[in-house]
């Protein structure tokens, strides 16, 4: 079986795959370099694989590297790589998170419920990996493994990188009422429920954070203020609508009282 190792150079991480007559399947374009007696193949997928690739957003062609030597996958980046071990099991991972896997791992598309997919930002289709073997995924920060035992996990944002296929995903309002959802500032929450595991990357690592601060520093002040302005407009707009409704009811009651209806 291929041996996987996460290596760091100049603060950036790559995936090192050691082959001893083995085969590793990778995402197209993931190769950084390789050394040794290795044969590269990129076969046309089956009709089902073609449709699955188009739907999931993953590249249709996934090259394989077979032989003896070392394969380095990237591109090198400041985020994190993680290795999943599957034992006749299946995981659903974010689009673009898949990096490589053992040859025996099946990569296909997973369809989310339409409403939850559109509102939750996860997309209608995500990537499903199943079988027995190892899978390497990437994330912006360290992964936190949450075990669910029939309970619920509510996430405000898209930092759930992967989940076992036994965990259900849906989107709910943060409060029962529409007004409460808007004024709470939380909006919609991604809900994960069932039995299994969810991998969260709640905090980008130090380098990712520094890159984010750098991007904010060069952004125009007006641009940085847009999200806050939008939030205030929504909040005050909702309050205004409520007040207008209350005033309208008061006027209607007064008119009915004057007409002798009440």
User: Is 88 or 219 the better-scoring residue by pLDDT?
Assistant: 88
Mean pLDDT, all residues of the chain: 78
Where are any strands of DSSP class E within 185-240? Answer: 188-200
Distance CA 235, CA 262 (A): 35
**Domain locations in the chain?**
3-218, 219-262
* Architecture of the structural domain at 3-218: 4-Layer Sandwich (3.60)
pTM over 0.75: no
Mean pLDDT calculated for residue range 224-246? 51
* Res. 63: pLDDT tops 80: yes
Mean pLDDT calculated for residue range 204-230? 49
- Any bridge partners for residue 147, and if so which? 197
Confidence class for position 218, pLDDT limits 50, 70, 90:
very low
**Is residue 179 within a helix (H) or strand (E), and if so which, with residue range?**
helix 178-184
| Per-residue model confidence as pLDDT tens digits over 92-115 | 998 889 999 999 999 988 876 655
């Amino acid at each position: 079986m291929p041996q996987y190792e996460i290596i760091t150079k100049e603060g950036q991480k790559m995936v090192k795959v050691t082959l001893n007559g083995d085969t590793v399947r990778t995402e197209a374009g993931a190769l950084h370099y390789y050394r040794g007696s290795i044969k590269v193949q990129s076969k046309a997928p089956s009709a089902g694989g073609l449709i699955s690739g188009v739907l999931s957003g993953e590249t249709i062609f996934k090259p394989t590297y077979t032989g003896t030597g070392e394969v380095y996958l990237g591109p090198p980046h400041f985020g994190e790589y993680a290795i999943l071990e599957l034992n006749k099991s299946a995981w659903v991972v974010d689009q673009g998170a898949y990096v490589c896997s053992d040859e025996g791992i099946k990569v296909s598309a997973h369809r989310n419920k339409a409403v939850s997919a559109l509102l939750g930002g996860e997309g209608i289709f995500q990537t499903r990996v199943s079988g027995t073997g190892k899978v390497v995924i990437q994330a912006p920060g360290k992964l936190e493994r949450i075990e669910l035992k029939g309970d619920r996990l509510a996430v405000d944002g898209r930092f759930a990188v992967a989940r076992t296929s036994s965990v259900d995903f849906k989107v709910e309002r943060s409060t029962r009422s529409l007004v409460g959802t808007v004024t709470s500032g939380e909006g919609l929450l991604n809900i994960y429920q069932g039995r299994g595991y969810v991998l969260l990357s709640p905090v980008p690592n130090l380098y990712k954070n520094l890159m984010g601060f750098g991007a904010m520093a060069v952004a125009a002040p007006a641009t940085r203020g847009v999200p806050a302005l939008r939030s205030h407009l929504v909040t005050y707009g909702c309050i205004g609508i409520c007040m207008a409704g209350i005033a309208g009811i008061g006027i209607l009651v007064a008119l009915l009282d004057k007409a002798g209806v009440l």
